[in-house]
Copies of this chain bind each other. A is one copy, B any other.
């Protein structure tokens, strides 16, 4: 597996947004599948020791989804959102609410863009637009870079396997 691809998180001080960028050794069509097919997503989306299952996932423009994270300090916690746009293999726009916060109604808007790179490779850029600077800083300080990096390594493995079987 190629180890040169690093997950990078950019969070400019005082802004409400953050950017996650990562390159993958597979074409956009395949990376897009890994972001949109429930069985694929459940295999890589979370950090090393975390498990999740798909409660429902209607991943089309106008759809919605809910994932359930297992055993977060002894309980299961949902992630819910609505899907503003799915344009294969270019763009996914959705909302994202972690249901484990003390209060409901706090969320982010997430835009994921897939770019073709030479050599059957893909660059993924995720813009996470938060409801406040504090919300964003909370995400970044919760170990986001480590967790996202771990999940992207799982995605590397999944894409390598899928490339091998195609």
Chain A residues within 8 Å of B, Cβ to Cβ: 14-17, 62, 64, 81-85, 87, 91, 93, 95, 97, 104-105, 107-109, 111, 127, 129-131
Contact = CB atoms under 8 A, between A and B. Distances in A.
Given A16-B15, A127-B131, A84 B62 contact: no
Chain A contact surface mostly:
strand
Contact of A84 (B14, B87, B93, B95): B95
A105 B131 contact: no
Contacts of A129: 16, 109, 129-131
A49 to B, nearest CB: 29
Q: Which 8 A-B pairs have the closest CB atoms?
A: A82-B82, A62-B64, A109-B109, A84-B95, A16-B16, A82-B84, A91-B105, A129-B131
A109 B95 contact: yes
Contacts of A16: 15-17, 129
A59 to B, nearest CB: 12
Given A16-B129, A127-B131, A107 B82 contact: no
